[in-house]
Chains A and B, each alone.
Chain A
């Protein structure tokens, strides 16, 4: 192998790809534009949902319990919650809740005043739709208000009996948060970043790989290329580096998209919590290891893609095989999307794709484990080697290279 020839092939392929406007637009420009768009749309949706849960809570009494006293009671209970709107009573609570006309319907026992005076408990039945995200989210607000009211009643009673309120609270729990500093936004990033990065590094090289061998064969430039003084391995390696670089560029484009997206719509990554910073304290070594693991994953797939592109009888056939490779990359990435860093298992670091996903999750979740990262990198390098051998053996197979 001659490094000079590798470089000549590599730089020609890069120049060639840099002039391929269609591929550039779909692989680099579109992610940069699309990500901010997705962030704005989805981020807007999440903020609106959050706002709805907190601010637009609607409550009504059942018609059965619609008496002046109960109305007073309810007004009293929610007096501290200006966001809770009390609407007109409804005849059929279940129907009203199911049809989203109202989020909560309260049914209060008619003789509640009597029971309260006698110091007996009375019932308030809350009808709501637990499967509805908004109702489920606002449920706590309603029950909190009721419990606070109940507490106030208790305190009044005790005061009347000249008993100190603190007798009811023998222990007061104080919390101290010892968790590492996690920005609220890391959660979302932990979900989407490993997925995006691994899928993109794995599929990013596909257009280049398809073009660089299957495409050359089809256009009739491949045979002349093989009769130059560059040997086959130099040609393969030059192309291999070009495919890898293209995959890396795709990931970088996507990251730029995410970055811009976060500027345009800062509430998306923080799941609607405005101002919650994206906080990362990733040590340089861990960052470096993760980048290396991701890049080596790109190299594994570049090798596979070139092998497939060489094996294929035609450009079309190559594209078909590539879509299988794409599927292989996407399945584990989607399957582990919601996996938390704590759920990452040791075996994952030995398996291609999963090792990159798991490493990214660890590092983004601030739970860095260098032996795990080391395993991921070493196993990844082994796979790079295997995929290169596969590509090289395809590139040496006369039956594959020259079939027509």
Chain B
């Protein structure tokens, strides 16, 4: 479903992502675990085709991200950062529709989809109200709906729970699990050990732009002869320093 091949991104001297390769199978949740500045956001921005790689590439949903970025974008949905940015003066429905239209959905299809999403997220009461005065929870639901309006196969989450309170974190986790249940392939970045342990099938540990190693938690703990993911992480990241 998704394969990174020596994906590399330099910002001047900084090697933000350095020859990263891994595979994610359909329906898998892959966690990118790394410290601040490790290169998580850059990796996800590359996969979302917002940035062009310095070298290397990735095949996303069967399309080469360098050669056919627009086809890749058709198959991905993103939820970046904790706060959900919406257009305050547009209604919830208009916010969602805007992204649907830009993803080439036709009118009837979009109408049906918005209705469907309204039911899924229980937004019936406020779907036609402007989002400016929404509570954080309401905004978050709109942002969720927006990210999957075009029904992408692949979801990219960049630290989706950073800066959120407990109940909001729970909602995000539920959303990710629902995406998984719906058969979507997911890449999630985080620097919270417990979050990755809870949600992810496979974990990649990224440090200074390089992928130190990746695999399931049992694979990693067995390989490095440690009792927990945390120990593995410290071992891998510590070793490199």
The contact of B50 among A9, A15, A19, A226, by CB within 8 Å, is A226
Task: Collect the chain B residues with CB atoms within 8 Å of residue A224's CB.
Answer: 78, 80, 85, 99, 146-147
Q: B136 near A: Cβ within 8 Å?
A: no
Cβ–Cβ contact B83 & A223, under 8 A:
no
Q: With the chains together, A222 CA to B85 CA distance in Å?
A: 8
Task: Collect the chain B residues with CB atoms within 8 Å of residue A223's CB.
Answer: 45, 48, 50, 78, 80
Task: Collect the chain A residues with CB atoms within 8 Å of residue B102's CB.
Answer: 5, 8-9, 225, 228-230
The contact of A12 among B48, B52, B80, B98, by CB within 8 Å, is B98
Of residues 72 to 96 in B, which have CB atoms within 8 Å of A's CB atoms?
A: 73-74, 76-78, 80-81, 83-90, 94
Cβ–Cβ contact B99 & A228, under 8 A:
yes
Q: With the chains together, A398 CA to B48 CA distance in Å?
A: 13
Question: What size tier do the contact residues of chain B reach?
Answer: 20 to 34
The contact of B89 among A5, A20, A229, A231, by CB within 8 Å, is A20
Q: A220 near B: Cβ within 8 Å?
A: yes
Q: B70 near A: Cβ within 8 Å?
A: yes
Of residues 15 to 37 in A, which have CB atoms within 8 Å of B's CB atoms?
A: 15-16, 19-20
Task: Collect the chain A residues with CB atoms within 8 Å of residue B89's CB.
Answer: 16, 19-20
Q: With the chains together, A15 CA to B87 CA distance in Å?
A: 11
Q: With the chains together, A221 CA to B83 CA distance in Å?
A: 10
Binary CB contact string for chain A from 80 to 114 against chain B (1 if under 8 A, 0 otherwise): 00000000000000000000000000000000000
Q: B104 near A: Cβ within 8 Å?
A: yes
Chain A count of residues within 8 A CB distance of the other chain: 26
Of residues 48 to 82 in B, which have CB atoms within 8 Å of A's CB atoms?
A: 48-52, 70, 73-74, 76-78, 80-81
Task: Collect the chain A residues with CB atoms within 8 Å of residue B49's CB.
Answer: 227
Q: With the chains together, A229 CA to B147 CA distance in Å?
A: 13
The contact of B84 among A12, A220, A226, A227, by CB within 8 Å, is A220
Cβ–Cβ contact B50 & A220, under 8 A:
no
Cβ–Cβ contact A8 & B85, under 8 A:
no
Q: With the chains together, A19 CA to B87 CA distance in Å?
A: 11
Q: With the chains together, A343 CA to B80 CA distance in Å?
A: 58
Cβ–Cβ contact B78 & A229, under 8 A:
no
Cβ–Cβ contact B85 & A227, under 8 A:
no
Binary CB contact string for chain B from 145 to 161 against chain A (1 if under 8 A, 0 otherwise): 01100000000000000
**Taking the nearest CB of chain B, how far is it from the CB of A55, in angstroms?**
56
Cβ–Cβ contact B87 & A16, under 8 A:
yes
Q: B103 near A: Cβ within 8 Å?
A: yes
Q: With the chains together, A152 CA to B8 CA distance in Å?
A: 102
Cβ–Cβ contact A231 & B70, under 8 A:
yes
The contact of B48 among A19, A222, A227, by CB within 8 Å, is A227
Q: Which residue of A lies closest to B98 (CB)?
A: A12
Given the known inter-chain contacts A9-B102, A398-B52, please indicate yes or no for A229 contacting B70, CB distance below 8 A: yes
**Taking the nearest CB of chain B, how far is it from the CB of A136, in angstroms?**
56
Given the known inter-chain contacts A8-B102, A221-B85, please indicate yes or no for A227 contacting B74, CB distance below 8 A: no
Task: Collect the chain A residues with CB atoms within 8 Å of residue B94's CB.
Answer: 12, 15
Interface centre among A226, A228, A398 (most CB of B within 10 A): A228
Cβ–Cβ contact B50 & A8, under 8 A:
no
Cβ–Cβ contact B86 & A229, under 8 A:
no
Q: A402 near B: Cβ within 8 Å?
A: yes
Cβ–Cβ contact B78 & A399, under 8 A:
no
Task: Collect the chain A residues with CB atoms within 8 Å of residue B50's CB.
Answer: 223, 226-227, 398, 401-402
Cβ–Cβ contact A227 & B73, under 8 A:
yes
Binary CB contact string for chain B from 119 to 148 against chain A (1 if under 8 A, 0 otherwise): 000000000001000000000000000110
Given the known inter-chain contacts A16-B90, A223-B50, please indicate yes or no for A228 contacting B103, CB distance below 8 A: yes
Q: With the chains together, A227 CA to B49 CA distance in Å?
A: 7
Q: Which residue of A lies closest to B52 (CB)?
A: A398
Task: Collect the chain A residues with CB atoms within 8 Å of residue B52's CB.
Answer: 398
Q: With the chains together, A15 CA to B74 CA distance in Å?
A: 26
Q: With the chains together, A227 CA to B80 CA distance in Å?
A: 11
Task: Collect the chain A residues with CB atoms within 8 Å of residue B101's CB.
Answer: 8
Task: Collect the chain A residues with CB atoms within 8 Å of residue B78's CB.
Answer: 223-224, 227
Task: Collect the chain B residues with CB atoms within 8 Å of residue A399's CB.
Answer: 11
Q: Which residue of B lies closest to A8 (CB)?
A: B101
Q: Which residue of B lies closest to A9 (CB)?
A: B102
**Taking the nearest CB of chain A, how far is it from the CB of B146, in angstroms?**
7
Q: With the chains together, A19 CA to B86 CA distance in Å?
A: 15
Known contacts A16-B90, A227-B73, A227-B78; can you find 11 more A-B pairs with CB under 8 A?
A220-B84, A223-B80, A224-B78, A224-B99, A227-B49, A228-B103, A229-B73, A229-B103, A229-B104, A399-B11, A402-B50
Can you show 26 pairs from A to B with CB atoms below 8 A apart?
Answer: A5-B102, A8-B101, A12-B94, A12-B98, A16-B87, A16-B89, A19-B130, A20-B89, A219-B85, A220-B85, A222-B85, A223-B45, A224-B80, A224-B85, A224-B99, A225-B102, A226-B48, A226-B50, A227-B50, A227-B78, A228-B73, A228-B102, A229-B70, A229-B74, A229-B104, A401-B50
